[in-house]
Amino acid sequence: MRILVIAMAAASLALNVSGFIDDTRIVRWNTLSGQKTQLVGHRGEKAFMPEHTRASYWQAALEGADYIEPDLGLSKDGHLVVNHNEWLGGNTNVASIPELAHLRTNKTWTDGGKSKTVTNEWFIADMTLAQIKMVRVNQADFKFRPQHFNGMFDVLTFEEYLQIMRNVTIDLGRSFGVIPELKSPKLYNVGRSYPRYYEDRAILTMRHYGWTKISKQIDSSQHTDLRLAPLRPLDGACLGPSVWQSFDQDTAAYLSRHTFTPVVALNQDLPWFFTPKGLDRVSKYAQVISPWKDFFVTGAEAYYKANNITWDAKEIAQMGGFIKPENLAKEIHRRGMTISPYTFYDSHQDMSYLCTKGVKPDSKSGFCPKDKRDEFFYFFAQGMDFMFVENIEEANVLRILYTNELERDQWRI
């Protein structure tokens, strides 16, 4: 049995192209595949570089992220662009550009079952790509991060992100996963020629760059204006895997039906999700579940209470009740899904667990992380398949230290 496990691990490692440093380690993790946790560079490498810029994506690649994350939005004239917020005020110089002053406005929309109102902002959905390209990205909201690169980089299109992902693959000779998040479909599909305009445009763009295959026909006659650039030849390089993400459960289900790319269902605001029957429901359309990390530590019930989010007690009871934080990973894996919690901040930032703010955890163990190592080791031990991390270097070092421990335990060395 031991020999079989080792042979399987060796075979799977031979196929595993990710990770610069520790690919030769033969240890079994608690992830669904038994392989090490995959580190997802959240918005690129935002601990050091202005997020979602070419510098942020290159830095993430150089630090050895397994996946590099872009967040998508859609310009008024139908271009997919990458930015975390649906608006540009927080992380760019948009407010200082007189030609764009007239675009400042207010909006209300729903995303992930939650209503959002944002006032006095510049929204991607109202701007043309030419207007968006006038803007420069900065770190203004995050004073503890390096500010040296403010004003140097523009907002990228999704195509530019995919070109950069092909470039790092070819130039560094290593595969990287792409993991785009479709933000706020209910905002971006308003006023378009048909209801899935945004999703289909993302699918057609991903397909062009070789990162997805379409499983169910989509109406490309609606996108005859979509001009995609010629591809840089791979010259024998190998593209990494791809995964979709969305907080919008309808969009997650749509992406799952229409492509062969696995889908991450993101969520923190829908209480039914964190029950046994809720996970059964999600497993019909998602291959990966991505909860806010606190659901594995302080727990769902404590989270909803602390955030004044109400739930229907009868419905939750009928769905099997809230799953305890220490059992959540096992329950997700039991349904054949992998797990990708967010967000593991750089150690300059507060870890942001409710239990560290005096909220009583739902868990029997009462675990509450004291520091970065404590936090990462807990999540590694729980078998997280992916983690959204903000300082890839730091996360990588902790992954190596954890691998050392596994090696000691499994090989008694």
Ligand X SMILES: *[C@@H]1O[C@H](CO)[C@@H](O)[C@H](O)[C@H]1NC(C)=O
- The site for ligand X (CB under 6 A) is made up of 54, 105-106, 119-120, 160, 163-164, 167, 232, 307-308
Whole-number minimum distance, CB 21 to ligand X, in Å? 26
What is the secondary structure of 66-99 as a DSSP string?
A: SEE--EEEE-TTS-EEE-SSSBSTTTBSGGG-GG
Name the one residue in this structure whose structure tokens are 């009583």: 360
Closest CA to 285 of 263, 269, 310, 302: 263
Whole-number minimum distance, CB 54 to ligand X, in Å? 6
Whole-number minimum distance, CB 349 to ligand X, in Å? 19
Cβ distance to ligand X smaller for residue 147 or 307? 307
In terms of C-beta density within 10 A (0-12 exposed, 13-18 middle, 19 or more buried), how is residue 165 classed?
Answer: buried
Pure H helices in 139-240: 158-172, 185-188, 197-208
Whole-number minimum distance, CB 103 to ligand X, in Å? 10
For 257, the token pair is 């039906």
CA distances from 114 to 88, 145, 248 (A): 20, 30, 10
For residues 175 and 239, the answer to whether their CB atoms sit within 8 Å is: yes
What is the secondary structure of 297-345 as a DSSP string?
A: TT-HHHHHHHTT----HHHHHHTT-PPPHHHHHHHHHHTT-EE--B-B-
For residues 66 and 177, the answer to whether their CB atoms sit within 8 Å is: yes
For residues 382 and 296, the answer to whether their CB atoms sit within 8 Å is: yes
Whole-number minimum distance, CB 343 to ligand X, in Å? 18
Closest CA to 139 of 43, 58, 220: 43
Cβ distance to ligand X smaller for residue 148 or 357? 357
Whole-number minimum distance, CB 151 to ligand X, in Å? 19
Whole-number minimum distance, CB 106 to ligand X, in Å? 4
Residues 6+ apart with CB under 8 A from 332: 279, 289, 338, 339
For residues 313 and 287, the answer to whether their CB atoms sit within 8 Å is: no
Whole-number minimum distance, CB 384 to ligand X, in Å? 26
Cβ distance to ligand X smaller for residue 35 or 169? 169
For residues 248 and 267, the answer to whether their CB atoms sit within 8 Å is: no
Whole-number minimum distance, CB 123 to ligand X, in Å? 11
Cβ distance to ligand X smaller for residue 33 or 120? 120
For residues 342 and 293, the answer to whether their CB atoms sit within 8 Å is: yes
Adjacent-strand bridge partners of 386: 38
Whole-number minimum distance, CB 94 to ligand X, in Å? 16
Closest CA to 202 of 80, 315, 378, 51: 80
For residues 164 and 58, the answer to whether their CB atoms sit within 8 Å is: yes
Name the one residue in this structure whose structure tokens are 């729980």: 382
